Amino acid sequence: MLRVKNLRKTYAMAEGRVEAVRGVSFDVDPGVFLTLLGPSGCGKTTTLRCVAGLETPDSGEIYVGEQAVFVGNRGVLVPAYRRGVGMVFQSYAIWPHMTVAENVSFPLVHGGFKVPKSKVNEKVRKALELVGLGALENRPAPLLSGGQQQRVSLARALVYEPKLLLLDEPLSNLDAKLREEMRLELREIVRRLKISTLYVTHDQEEALVLSDHIAVMSEGQILQQGSPRDIYLNPQHPFVANFVGSANFIDGAIDEAKNGHYGFAVGTALGPISCPLPSDVKIGERVSVVFRPEDVLIHIDAERSRTNMFPGVLERVIFVGKRTHCEIRSGSLLLHSEASARTEMQQGSRVVVEIPPEYVRILRSQ
């Protein structure tokens, strides 16, 4: 439904050039919800605005459905209103002097998606029903809560039944509780409509909850694409491992293992760490070992009887309700663990940490 190939966009500023998007490629298949996830300033909005036609790329190609809407080297540039995409902004962009229904009907009456007058009411009603605002048609827009305003802007983007929905951090202006509610509601709506969606956020949890696919961006480039599970469980890049969830990193080198079922281990400052390895690793190859804090087990009274058990001292214990966050000192290394809040932990006590081999991933030099 959407194909973006090698997209580039540079802004010329008084203080120099900003390379906002540096060769970004991705596809959104029909009915798929794809999220561009990355920190502020990594080029998410610029990418989205290029797709919408609100920004002209320097080079690359963009196809919406069968239509080429931008092809740099062929001079193809289709204006925004002829791309058939709906867009929702972080700032809502609701007209304050209009009612809910007038706001939603705007693209059908004034915008690029004019329909016969007799059809307008029916379409507006349908869009408002979709977002759960059926009863508020005639309310003036300023009398709406933040969540309701966001729904109005979603209804306005859906009212002309776009081929593709673009959403730029649509939930960031809502308070935490409402954001979680709207997140689930949005998930319901797009799943029901099976509309192809390109979503932008810096919020990793939002991306994991909403998306079929996630593309993690940093500094104008996509570092990794995959399903939420894949991105979280098999990060291929230190940035991805750290940005989506948190991670322990330990540098080391591949070594022959004397025991354990993998045959090889990674020699590290902690000791040899066993884990699944790609078949083409070589002895001596330098790699980073990565594992999630929630996969690190802490034993208070235990022998080092299993693979990947290492002695340490609880340097810091922070109770955060759901979990207890622990920092364990082992030699020169500090390991992070998310332990069950039910386990009593004493700062300063000696413990044994266990890192189950199956949860360990290695990152090879890129």
Ligand X SMILES: Nc1ncnc2c1ncn2[C@@H]1O[C@H](COP(=O)(O)OP(=O)(O)O)[C@@H](O)[C@H]1O
Residue 46, binding choice from Mg ion, ligand X, none, Cβ under 5 to 8 Å by partner class:
ligand X
CA dihedral 336, 337, 338, 344 (to 10 degrees): -120
* 4 near ligand X, judged by CB under 6 A: no
What type of residue is 298?
I
CB of 87 to Mg ion, least distance (A): 13
CB of 325 to Mg ion, least distance (A): 30
CB of 46 to ligand X, least distance (A): 3
CA angle 318, 322, 325 (to 5 degrees): 25
Given the complex with ligand X, which of 41 and 271 has the nearer CB atom? 41
Q: Which residues bind Mg ion (CB under 5 A)?
A: 45
* 13 near ligand X, judged by CB under 6 A: yes
Binds ligand X (CB under 6 A): choice among 33, 34, 45, 326: 45
Residue 147, binding choice from Mg ion, ligand X, none, Cβ under 5 to 8 Å by partner class:
none
CB of 215 to ligand X, least distance (A): 12
CB of 45 to ligand X, least distance (A): 3
Distance CA 354, CA 299 (A): 8
Given the complex with ligand X, which of 105 and 153 has the nearer CB atom? 153
Binds ligand X (CB under 6 A): choice among 40, 138, 332, 366: 40
Given the complex with ligand X, which of 42 and 154 has the nearer CB atom? 42
* 11 near ligand X, judged by CB under 6 A: yes
Binds ligand X (CB under 6 A): choice among 35, 46, 274, 308: 46
CB of 45 to Mg ion, least distance (A): 3
Binds ligand X (CB under 6 A): choice among 4, 20, 51, 87: 20
* 44 near ligand X, judged by CB under 6 A: yes
Given the complex with Mg ion, which of 80 and 115 has the nearer CB atom? 80
CB of 135 to ligand X, least distance (A): 35
Given the complex with Mg ion, which of 45 and 337 has the nearer CB atom? 45
Binds ligand X (CB under 6 A): choice among 41, 132, 146, 245: 41
* 201 near ligand X, judged by CB under 6 A: no
By beta carbon distance, the residue nearest Mg ion is 45
The residues of the shown chain that bind ligand X, judged by CB under 6 A, are 11, 13, 18, 20, 38, 40-46
